[in-house]
Chain A
Amino acid sequence: MNPRILAATTGRILRQLRHDRRTVALLVAVPSVLLALVYYMYADQPAPPGQPSAFDRIALVMLGLFPFIVMFLVTSIAMLRERTTGTLERLLTTPLAKTDLLFGYGIAFGLAGAVQATIASAVAYWLFDLDTAGSSGLVIMVAVLNAVLAVALGLFCSAFARTEFQAVQFMPVVVAPQLLLCGLFVPRGEMAGWLQAVSDVLPLSYAVEALQEVGAHAEPTGTMWRDAAVVAGATVLALVLAAVTLRRRSG
């Protein structure tokens, strides 16, 4: 890895994003619109005594999910475009190391995820009175970890997609099971044993648990830090797999 090349690559990806104003607007606006939707859906539902309200419970997890879903899709498509337009092949004939490219995407879209998570959190806390015991900074931290995890998974999965149609299909394959089993719909402890086992190896489960810890405790807990470490570890693993599947030579 070369710091100069990594910085140039990160800058190039952010510049591409900046030229695409509509995507930037969607990245920023869509989470807020969806938060509003959830807010009004549950506006008349009384909170069970001693429990967080449904909006607090769902909005908190949503803040972590937006960057995860969006960055996975954006990365898959961006990487597929690098392959189909030949820029990837050309990059691989230059002094750029594979890690320069992978980390460049991780940093660039991680930053984009951070911006998205910050704005969505601001809207959730100030406009819709989201109430969490822990600090909003920790919520954003977990959201950013999710964004980087999604970039890493997107980079890895893009190796298996030849067309845009295939790349889009990886979204339900990779994201949907994690979404269903992360504990948002059914608490993980109440699932059948085998579902719990599956849930235990999916990184999003840990991200959601970390967010719930922030929601319930004023101070960061050991469980939260362990969960954050698991998400970071899964990110590194996905990046290693992405590096292995990114071949300089092709047939």
Chain B
Amino acid sequence: MDDAIAVRDLVVDRGGRRVLHGISATVPRGRVTGLLGPSGSGKTTLMRAVVGVQVVGSGTVTVLGRPAGSAELRRRVGYLTQAPSVYADLTVRENARYFAALHGRGHADADRAVADVGLAPAASQLVGALSGGQRSRASLACALVGDPELIILDEPTVGQDPVLRADLWTRFHELAAAGRTLLVSSHVMDEAARCDRLLLIREGRLIADDTPDAVRAAAGVADLDEAFLRLIRAGEADAGPVTGPNGTAGRVGAAGGEAS
């Protein structure tokens, strides 16, 4: 099986409300897949289901060939939570070294992970004293420090300056080129164009699952933001949320090939 993640008919309820309505999607190995959608669309819930910390109503989530949350997966999957989850009362270096130790890595790996996110100059500062953007990069360093096969990043570039954002995306593609699989969520559409593949969700339903080029082609516009808007309108016009055979609402660009 070539997919790093296979989600089938996933239903999740949180706080008495249905958050995911039977989502089915796949994430190919060795690519950067973007999970796009507005705030509250269910991106974080889907990611939590993939890393195995979300109570699931029904459906299956298979990760690297195993059921999500399997003990063995915990050494192969890296997870960046949306809010920076690092210890504010430790330095950047101490945080990275702790998470490195959990993955059986040494100090050198930790220091490299800190340098890779551009935080080497701030390595001996307490995380609590950092800016929001630095703090989320410290958190990112801790997600990458174990060199996991599958990397789940929940909004990793929020609050970063444009140059750093570009650097981070370059880094993500380097990781993918080295055989890692990345699932990166964002609510900023201009980041969608940087992904190899896109999953667009809205209100807990999958609206698109394809390459950026195919999404543009299906919608007939060059701008991805506009393309998504058209897909949403088209979906609503077709008698409310259209559900395809596998729960995919209006899978677009079926003929669209891989973006190069």
Contacts and interface: CB of A to CB of B under 8 A. Distances in A.
A108 B56 CA distance: 35
B46 interface: no
Instruction: Give the 10 A-B residue pairs with the shortest CB-CB distance, closest first.
Output: A86-B85, A8-B101, A94-B102, A90-B85, A12-B98, A93-B79, A86-B81, A93-B51, A95-B75, A87-B85
B54 A95 contact: no
A45 interface: no
B102 A96 contact: yes
A74 to B, nearest CB: 13
A243 interface: no
B117 interface: no
Contacts of A15: 90, 94
30 contacts: A4-B104, A5-B101, A5-B102, A12-B90, A12-B98, A19-B126, A85-B85, A85-B87, A85-B88, A86-B84, A86-B85, A89-B48, A91-B102, A92-B53, A93-B53, A93-B74, A93-B77, A93-B79, A94-B74, A94-B102, A94-B103, A94-B146, A95-B75, A95-B103, A248-B53, A248-B69, A249-B53, A250-B55, A251-B13, A251-B55
A19 B53 contact: no
Contacts of B69: 248-249
Interface string B95-111: 00011011110000000
Nearest to A19: B89
A94 B81 CA distance: 13
B241 interface: no
Contacts of A8: 98, 101-102
* Interface magnitude class on chain B: 20 to 34
* Interface magnitude class on chain A: 20 to 34
A41 B90 CA distance: 41
A91 B85 CA distance: 9
B43 to A, nearest CB: 16
B240 to A, nearest CB: 27
A100 to B, nearest CB: 9
